[in-house]
Amino acid sequence: MAHPPAAPRADTWSQAAVGAGVILLALALGAGALTIPSAAGYGGVGPNFLPWLVSVALAVCGALMLREALTGGFRQMPGLEEGAGQAWWPGLVWVSAGLLVNAALITTVGFVVGCTLCYLLAVQGLRRAAGQSAGMRSLGVDVASGAAIAAPVFWVFTQFLGISLPGLTTTGWI
């Protein structure tokens, strides 16, 4: 026998707002995908395929979140006793700074250095949020890890796929 949906809780409106926000984000991404040419490339898909795929996936997730919120709230949401009672805002600032530094410097210092800086700042923010030490050793590990991720991505895109990314030099290797 099916049970009737649970009565909406007082915080349902904020949960519904999250679902609606995800749907709006999907619509904005879909609108952006309309401006990308659809000419099919290698493999029969065009450059607008991935934005459309992500847009549809976001819309489905947003609709499911909205349905969940309107039929009783996020039932599986962990209680505050299991995690922090509040967000740790300095971590958000570190991660945001990484994204903004990358966006501001990528054309000046190149893809590899810009993405390495982004990775360094974001990981340092996450380390601090988790209460881990942020000493010189962790800085070195994060710089090396960021470069180890960014450099192969840069080389694959520029050398093998022929996609132009900003480099630090004109050689095409960094």
Domain boundaries, the chain: 12-79, 89-160
Sequence letter at residue 174: I
**115: pLDDT strictly greater than 50:** yes
Least confident of 12-16, 108-112, 157-161: 157-161
| pTM score of the predicted model | 0.56
Sequence letter at residue 17: A
Greater pLDDT, 48 or 78 = 48
**147: pLDDT strictly greater than 70:** yes
**61: its two tokens:** 């997730």
**41: its two tokens:** 């490339």
| Predicted local distance difference test score (pLDDT) of residue 80 | 40
Give exposure, 110-124, as e/b (b: 16+ Cβ within 10 Å): bbbbbbbbbbbbbbb
**78: pLDDT strictly greater than 70:** no
Residue 73 in contact with residue 18, Cβ under 8 Å? no
Q: Give the alpha-carbon dihedral of 50, 55, 60, 64, to 10 degrees.
A: 130
Kindly state the average pLDDT of the residues 147-173.
79
| Predicted local distance difference test score (pLDDT) of residue 9 | 53
Measured between its terminal Cα atoms, the distance across the chain in Å is 64
Least confident of 21-30, 46-55, 77-86: 77-86
| Predicted local distance difference test score (pLDDT) of residue 127 | 87
Least confident of 9-23, 47-61, 87-101: 9-23
What percent of the chain lies above the pLDDT cut of 70?
A: 78
